[in-house]
Structure 1
Amino acid sequence: MQTLPRLAITAGEPAGIGPELLIRLAATPLAANFIAVTDRALLERAAARCGQPIELIDDDGSDTAMRRPGQLRVRHVPLGTTEQPGTPDPANAHHVLATLTEAADGCMAGRYAAIVTAPLQKSSINEAGIRFSGHTEFFAERAHADVVMMLASPELRVTLATTHLPLSAVPAAITHDALTRVLRIVHRELQGKFGLLEPRIAVLGLNPHAGEGGHLGREELDTIIPALDALRAEGMDLLGPLPADTAFVPSLRERYDAVLAMYHDQALPVLKSEAFDRTVNLTLGLPFIRTSVDHGTALDLAGTGRGDPSSLIAAARMALELVARRSAHPQGHS
């Protein structure tokens, strides 16, 4: 009998909604061997708050061909201090980073088939005196990889040329080299992870109306169009630069497989307004599969047991799909 993929699931911020969502995920019948990388007692308290029976099993690294709903293996990483739902404590910053380290190193060593991450609280880690800008950057540094953030729903895939930057810093970050790097990664990963032999990528302009021929900004003329033309010469199928206000109309969506937006809030409001509970965050360019929820720690809901696990379940489903595709076509996976 075929063994189940071992998915490492990190619980994120202990005082946030993540531990409870993880308990809800374990209650599903998804065909995966879930390995919770977190504190065992934290999970017990989260299960009690959810009113959800849970069977916790210490992970010994072994494979299994079946998992009952409500069954969860645990790779114990101790908390720094007992969590207070809704109130992040910087004393748990090292715990959070240790879970990410174990998950990433375990994937690279072959102990896990993929990582699925619950949301964390970046401010709490920074308040502990540790410079930290997010999951994506952490995994990139750990794996020594050049990465790109993608958010995907069943209907739309969006990638970002820049991520967590102030809007005032975005124009200077849109360079020929930066666009070339990002589009090459996106193109390669659409082929390797999603099985698209000739991916079609729509690229948004930076300015309103994609600059309107230079009247509303010259970034399209001076930087974006030359970069796209050079990559088209390499064989990439690129559409744009497109005005962001019309790029997502249904008739245009049929012409591309993914969108490259110039900055965080240019495209993500469209995606999240359509499919907030079905959108998954992926990190492209890593030597392993990593998916995540598309929402934050929901501190106002933490401890209530009422958090919606839909996005975490969607992230686990996508991780399983990518693992299955990699297993079926290992030579085509980057």
Structure 2
Amino acid sequence: MTRPRLALVPGEPAGVGPELCVRLAQQPRTDCHLVALADPATLQAAADALRLPLNLLPAQQPARAPGDLPLHAVPNAAGVAFGRPDPGNAAAVVAALHQAADGCMDGTFAGMVTGPVHKATINQGGIAYTGTTELLAAHAGCEVVMMLANDIVRVALATTHLPLRKVADAIDAALLRQVLRITHAALRTGFGIADPVIAVLGLNPHAGEDGHLGHEEIEILAPVLEQLRGEGMHLVGPLPADTAFLPGKLRGFDTVLAMYHDQGLPVLKYSGFEQAVNLTLGLPYPRVAVDHGTALDLAGRGMADPSSLEAAVATCARLAAQRATA
């Protein structure tokens, strides 16, 4: 099978993204072809800081030796000092994401891997930006679900970056149906799981304890799960979050749906933060991101761990190959 061609977007140029891409270029790949969308001078500066070889190739030319990295140039407007983000480069960061998304939509790329961005710097650059997930969803004109995954567990989120005070009001039947349908379809088409089993966590402690600790499970979650079971989905729950992640139970689930960010992600990160990746379900192509930030304090020092980016590329390659097979 032809190896998929993936877009690689480093993210914030003053963060660890460029040097992680340079480290990635040192290893031969048999699962995909990578094309970086980035500023060439920034990548070269990262390679120089790491004292690693870097040979930037035309985007159409495949890598053949350690240090080779095909490049679609997206120049920065300002010089880069590692560890010091410059709002003047916000437009280039967002342009790289848009160009990678364009390539995924027109078939140039089979998927996208993204490094960490610095949201505050992008907004300081005059661009309204809430996150890459939201940017890509708007670009593709679709609804999406955020999932984080490692080799132990996959966690999808009903709500993402909301203050805890607003979570209960955000969870309604329409949202849950949408999130579960997107997640179920992605597990089938993207992961090749014919009959995925999705564990659904309750919102309240002890999943509401029969209404004594909240009524959302009885009034919202249970009716939605019953409806979707009638559509053929294999759903378990609502489950108490404090016991759903026990290893014996996890072995029976393909994914856990958490109601809010900190209900499920601390467990995932504790179980294997370095190998965790962030997936955007519902896009017409696979998008996988690292599960860490820009690490400005480490940028340019050669101390950043490339494990999450390596896992993101491997995951995206598998998802792209699965889509091609399907």
What TM-score bracket applies, with the shorter chain setting the length?
Answer: over 0.9
Helix, strand or coil at the partner of 1:214 = coil
Tell me which stretches of 4 or more aligned residues in structure 1 moved more than 6 Å: none
Helix, strand or coil at the partner of 1:277 = coil
2:229 is aligned to 232
Flag structure 2 segments of 5+ consecutive residues without an equivalent: none
Amino acid at match of 1:11: P
Amino acid at match of 2:79: T
1:6 is aligned to 5
CA distance in 1 between counterparts of 2:189 and 2:198 reads 15
1:192 is aligned to 189
Aligned length: 325
2:83 is aligned to 86
CA distance in 2 between counterparts of 1:228 and 1:3 reads 40
Shift of 1:129: 2.4
1:30 is aligned to 29
* C-alpha contact 2:82 2:300 (8 A) present in aligned 1: yes
Shift of 1:327: 2.2
Helix, strand or coil at the partner of 1:8 = strand
1:276 is aligned to 273
1:265 is aligned to 262
Q: Deviations over 1:210-257 (max 9, x none)?
A: 111111111111111111111111111100011111100011112211
1:332 is aligned to none
* C-alpha contact 2:147 2:281 (8 A) present in aligned 1: yes
Shift of 1:126: 1.2
Helix, strand or coil at the partner of 2:137 = helix
Flag structure 1 segments of 5+ consecutive residues without an equivalent: 330-334
Shift of 1:3: 4.7
* C-alpha contact 1:33 1:67 (8 A) present in aligned 2: no
CA distance in 1 between counterparts of 2:209 and 2:77 reads 54
Of all paired residues, the percent bearing the same amino acid is 53
CA distance in 1 between counterparts of 2:322 and 2:232 reads 24
Q: Answer yes or no: is 1:203 the counterpart of 2:200.
A: yes
Amino acid at match of 1:30: R
Helix, strand or coil at the partner of 1:323 = helix
Within-5 A mapping of 1:1-334: 3-31=2-30, 32-59=32-59, 61=60, 64=62, 67-329=64-326
RMSD over equivalenced CA pairs, Å: 1.1
Helix, strand or coil at the partner of 2:193 = coil
Taking structure 2 as the reference length, what is the TM-score of the superposition? 0.97
CA distance in 2 between counterparts of 1:87 and 1:57 reads 28
Helix, strand or coil at the partner of 2:279 = strand
Q: Deviations over 1:291-325 (max 9, x none)?
A: 11000000110111211100000000011111221
CA distance in 1 between counterparts of 2:280 and 2:125 reads 25
Q: Which sits farther off after the overlay, 28-37 or 167-176?
A: 28-37
CA distance in 2 between counterparts of 1:67 and 1:322 reads 23
Amino acid at match of 1:41: A
Taking structure 1 as the reference length, what is the TM-score of the superposition? 0.95
CA distance in 2 between counterparts of 1:218 and 1:9 reads 45
CA distance in 1 between counterparts of 2:212 and 2:238 reads 15
* C-alpha contact 1:11 1:19 (8 A) present in aligned 2: yes
